[in-house]
Each structure stands twice: as C-alpha cells, then as structure tokens.
Amino acid sequence: MKKRDFIKTGLGFSSLATLGLGCQTMKPSHKQHVHTLHHRIKLGISSYSYWHFRDPKVSIESVIDRSADLGVEGVDILHRQMDSEDIPYLQKLKRHAFVNGIDLIALSIHQDFVDPDPAFRAQQIKHTIKCIHLAHEMGIPCIRLNSGRWNTIASFDDLMAARGQEPILPGYQESDGFDWCIASIEACLKEAEEKGVILALENHWGLTRTPEGLLRILNAIDSPWLGALMDTGNFLEEPYPKLAQIAPRAVFVQAKTYFGGGEWYTLDLDYARIASMLKEVGFGGYVSLEFEGKAPAEEGVRKSVEWLRSHLS
C-alpha cells in the first residue's frame, strides 16, 4: 500500500448559525433540513472531472489514485464511468479506496421521471433502486438524483444553447411533471432508508432548473432520506440568491470549475461567497469538485483543488 500523507491544509471551518429556528422546541419536519454545528467541510473529486464522456474513459481506480495524490478526502463516482456493476468490481473499488485513504462519498447517477408513460417511469424507478443497491455494496452513503426533463429539445448541446430552458411536452402541464417526479422519488425511498443511502436531488436541468422547482419537490416529500444536491454551476443567471435558497437543504455539494474555458459555458463563480453561504447554514459535509473545463484534466483538477482549498478554508 502506498503511503499517503494526511491532509494538513484542510477545508474546515466551523459553522456560525443554524437555519433560524430560534428557541422553537417542536420536533423539526424533515422538510426543514437541520445541519449540525461545528463540522468542517471536506473536499472530494468527482470522477467526471477526469472524463467528460469522451474516449478514452478514465478508470475509477485511476481517479482514486489521483485524488489520494492530491490529498483530498473523497471520490464521487459517476455511474456511467464504472467498468462494471458486478459485485467483485464493486468490492474492488471499495478496497482500493480504503487502502488509499479515500472515502467513496457519492454515486452520481442519471434517471428521468418526467415522462407520461407509466412503464417508462417504472423502469427509471427500477434503475434508481438498482443504483441504491450498488451504492450500498460500495459503502457509499449518497446518490445523486435527477428529476428529469421534458426532452422536447433532444440534443444536450442544443439544450445548453437554450440556457437549459425547453418547452413542456404538448398536451401536458408543468404540474404533471412534478406529480410524476414526486411519486417516482417516493417509490424509491423505502429502499433508500433500508440501505442507508441518501437521495440527493440536484439542481440540474428540467424540473429542478430553478430553486423553486427543486424546493417544490423536496417540500412535497417529508423524509430524512431526501435532500438537495447543490451544484454551484447549474444556475446560469444570478446564481447566488438561487444557491442561497437551496443551501439550507443541501446534503451534498458539487463545485464546478472551468479552467481552460467551460465545455458548454463558463461561470465566474465566487467561491469565497459560496463558502460563506454554506457556513451560514452550518453545512459540514462534502464539497465535490466537478472540473468542467477544457484544460487538460491533470492541470485543471490540480488548479481547481488549490482554488477550492484557498476559498473554502
């Protein structure tokens, strides 16, 4: 086993406030996520940072090695980047992470609950439950959840050109999409609780493109096994007030950086401001780097880790 140095320049800071509950003594609803005080933020790396869906694919083992060399504490695994779903492979990843001093912190998966076909939604629920089991086998306590979108703009490149906005499917209303999504997530929660895997709903495209959309879903489901995944790069206009809206519900954060210019767009994000935002709500979990720039991954990830450390400490 290669000896790894413990992190000496951590990202920790103590939180300053709770969510403004004052002196209330009532038992909080799970709809109001309450963070624990005096925790420190830990830094992880999304395996996506080394592989933007282009060949050659970078192995998860390689990402674990590189993350250990950079002294971060966790790896967020992109499901589509895995070489297999077989049990021996899952256990191999778990062992490889452990002997290198790395926590496996999230499994970022894809699903789409916004579809009028009940059979299609059932397949997406089945896929999500399967991924809950994969995460459990690897000792991963969290999966990234998508709401889904209307898919009236087929190409992702075209969707990005439209700033993530697309028309609703003809013959349906926005409320239909929310009803489908809420019911589908509820269908996954029993397995999530039994396996001890938190569902972290990302402010992604589709229904969760706005903070109001994300919170509409979270507020409709009262469960400690559902929270928000705050992606710093997915609110394209006026991000800070929008991020502030969802920060109190965040159980996981993905932090985008764009060295070399972004693959689809570039945001000049103020991470000192974002760190202050997380500090104010007492967030003490993982911030996972999602490097989405065109610079070589080795360079971009290294610079990004240094950048995040300097602003989140």
Residue-by-residue DSSP string for 161-189: HTTT--PPPTT--HHHHHHHHHHHHHHHH
Tokens 């229904």 correspond to: 207
The conformation of residue 29, written as its DSSP 8-state character, comes to P
Least confident range from 17-31, 82-96, 129-143, 267-281: namely 17-31
Residue spans per domain, the chain = 42-312
- Please determine, for residue 6, whether its predicted confidence score (pLDDT) is greater than 50: no
Quick one: pLDDT at residue 17?
A: 35
From residue 204, alpha-carbon distances to 9, 64, 78, 88, 141 in Å are 31, 25, 15, 32, 20
Tokens 């992606």 correspond to: 231
SS3 content of the chain, % helix, strand, coil (to 5): 40, 15, 45
Quick one: pLDDT at residue 15?
A: 36
Question: In the chain, at which residue ranges do the beta strands (DSSP E only) sit?
Answer: 42-46, 74-78, 103-108, 142-145, 198-202, 226-231, 250-257, 286-291
**How does pLDDT run across 285-295, given as a tens digit for each residue?**
999 999 999 99
- Please determine, for residue 34, whether its predicted confidence score (pLDDT) is greater than 80: no
Amino acid of residue 103: D
Quick one: pLDDT at residue 160?
A: 86
* Superfamily of 42-312 according to CATH: Divalent-metal-dependent TIM barrel enzymes (3.20.20.150)
**How does pLDDT run across 59-102, given as a tens digit for each residue?**
999 999 999 999 999 999 999 999 999 999 999 999 999 999 99
Residues 286 and 142: their CA atoms lie apart, in Å, by: 11
pLDDT-derived band of residue 311, with 50, 70 and 90 as boundaries? confident
Quick one: pLDDT at residue 141?
A: 98
Rounded percentage of the chain residues whose pLDDT exceeds 90: 82
CB 202 within 8 A of CB 208: yes
**How does pLDDT run across 89-147, given as a tens digit for each residue?**
999 999 999 999 999 999 999 999 999 999 999 999 999 999 999 999 999 999 999 99
